[in-house]
Structure 1
Amino acid sequence: MTVIAENRMSGAVRAAEQVLSSRAGARVTLADPVELGGSGRTDVVRARVAQNPLSLDRSLVIKVVPTDEPADAFARELASYKYANALPMHSRPGPQLIAFDNTARLIVLSDLGHGRSMSDLLGSPEWADPSHAISAWGQALGRMHAATVGGEGDFDALLRRGPGGGSVEVLPAQARMAVDLAPEVMTRYLGLPVHDEFLALLRRGEALFAEGDHRAFSPSDVGPPNILINDDGVQFMDYEWGGFRDASLDIAYAIVTFTPDLAPRWTDRRTDLETALVDGWRSEIQAIWPALGHDGELHRKVLTARALWVWMSTVWMLPVDLEVDPQSHGLALHTTDPTIVVGRWTDLAAAATRAGLTDIADFGVAAASALDAAWLR
């Protein structure tokens, strides 16, 4: 560990002790800090509670956004944890907010423990691990969505009352720019004519951030690196860009991001896993969104969101300026591996074929071929 990292970690622990002690009215002492990493711009530390007048958990997790980073991430993550804390226990998507400090940009959370990461389970040589984990992942997304329908006003109020009076969501802004540049990217970088039907699909996908019939809360980056399965079930761990949007964006994000972590021996069964993921999600949300009980409607909606995520991961690989580096946010969708992006196009084309969208499938095949020729040959 570098000196800078050690200084940051000790500073995070001292700041957390001050916040917890002020809350308790008596000294709280933390010990044995362990760096847990973070999104690339957030310091995350686990520490043992050594002196504990509050009957706190035996260990806590401390997250600090450095002061030289934009304040948006802290404001949005704090509002997300406050909102999630008010949900019924069985619907909470992740850790509990214990304390926070706006000035220090510090959040103290309950420790979810060690459990097993979704990435680890997907990479297991035992089929039961990825198949069970995928189903549980879909069900957890569905429970979160079902519990938060209609809560957007409450979340927005928390965001307005937070530090800075609100924040800008990075992903919707990135999506808007990526879609606006789509005609140029198709012709200049893919060497393909502008595909009007696919462009219309992208525009419908981008609109799901601001509208849509199935709006619910999302932590935003619901890919495998941010998911832990412990004794309490599936836990989502990063709320840095949490907010409300159409829930189909979440299930599509999960589909697009799980394949790179999948053990090679299971890649031929990824369609089965996609189906299990979607079915698990639908089992929890069908009662509140009955239209998604219709297979055609469901698959078209998910395909729309999926096309947007595949497009964004492609544009991030190209020399296209979208103003914000997604790697700095640690997004599971972001990759620098061209084989992953080409594979996402191939899988998108297969999904479009299953949905009966032949023109979209043909464009997916053409895009995969163009990128394969440009990057892998």
Structure 2
Amino acid sequence: MNRYDLLYELYDEFDAKTLLEYQNFVDVFPAVGSRVALEHWRRASDELERRKDAVRSAFPAGETLASVAAHATRDEAFTALDLLATYDRAVNVLVLDVDETLRSAGQTDNEIPRDTLHLLTELHEEGMPIVICTGQTLENVKGFITQGLGNELVHSGSLSIVYEAGNGVFTPGHGADTKRLLYEDLDDTVRGVFDEVRARVVPDAPEDIRRGCHLQGNEFNVTLKPNHQTGSREAVEVIDHALCYLLDLVGEAAPGGDPEAARAFYAAADPEIREVLERRGGVPDLDAADVTDETRDLLERVDVAYYEGDAAEVGSLELDKVAGVEAALEVLGVDDPFALVMGDSKSDLRVMEWVEANDCGIAAAPEHASEVVLEHVLSTDELVFDRNDATSMLRVVYALDRLAGLS
């Protein structure tokens, strides 16, 4: 009997939905001191085992199928099997964005849901390395990851944090390689731009930016964040102005010292930036084709990013999340990766495109991801999940890894 026939029989003959509900309850039931609550958990645990035993006794590979049914819905299990048929590989590393992927600001309490944390922990305990890949500062992400996943997992030696969208990699337990500052490898020309922008960004800022923004505490990137509520009208307005201001600073720091050149270059490269310049009457008279070769060569290595009502940022195009993930996998010793990459933004898209180009992974995104990310995901394996439901993709991975073991 092939794997598809086994799954059809499993989900047609057994109440897998109830089995999954019992497993979820047993896994995430909070630790309480109530004797009544503890007795309720024990009864649920006993019923879970009874239902698993029924599956175990019905199939030669009953243990595997019982685990699949207890951790994945019918659709998730068949999605896993379709992925196995396509790639003939199990996932062996998780590459995960945090904000708007593992957790969704504004829709939950901004924490990673408990069922997601539990399944991450379970996969990790079974040998799955985890790469947390974020634009946040190291201290921010390290704090809530340690709180959520626990100090033991974070310092297990098989978890790595790519922070500031690839400027650095933190992998506890790896001696001299525990913290790698990738931005130190940039040449002096590029670093000189960042040094000048960072030195001027606050002292030279217009009054509305000084009062309406704050400088995020990055190690390398220069990021202006709004003091107003993210996404509010006030935040959109001040970040639009901050973007124009950063473009001018980059232009003045580049060869030729021409802010018009930077505006022209980035407006031609990014429609969102051009739209902001148009809204603010800041589109330059200079044509992008007239930017000097020396200036263009430098600007092609410096990224100016815009996130509406959330951030305006200067970063290095040589240090994106792909560079960070490659460094993290090297430290973790993952020589032949097949990754699940989950994310929602353009910086995550670069990792998704990298795993596709190198045939070393699959990509998934929440339904509210940016348009270009969704286009990529829908054009590959269509792994789009609901807001706040990153757990569903982890359940697919759980099922995929077990089904791959069936002959």
Q: What's the TM-score once normalised by structure 1's chain length? A: 0.29
Greater Cα radius of gyration, structure 1 or 2: 2
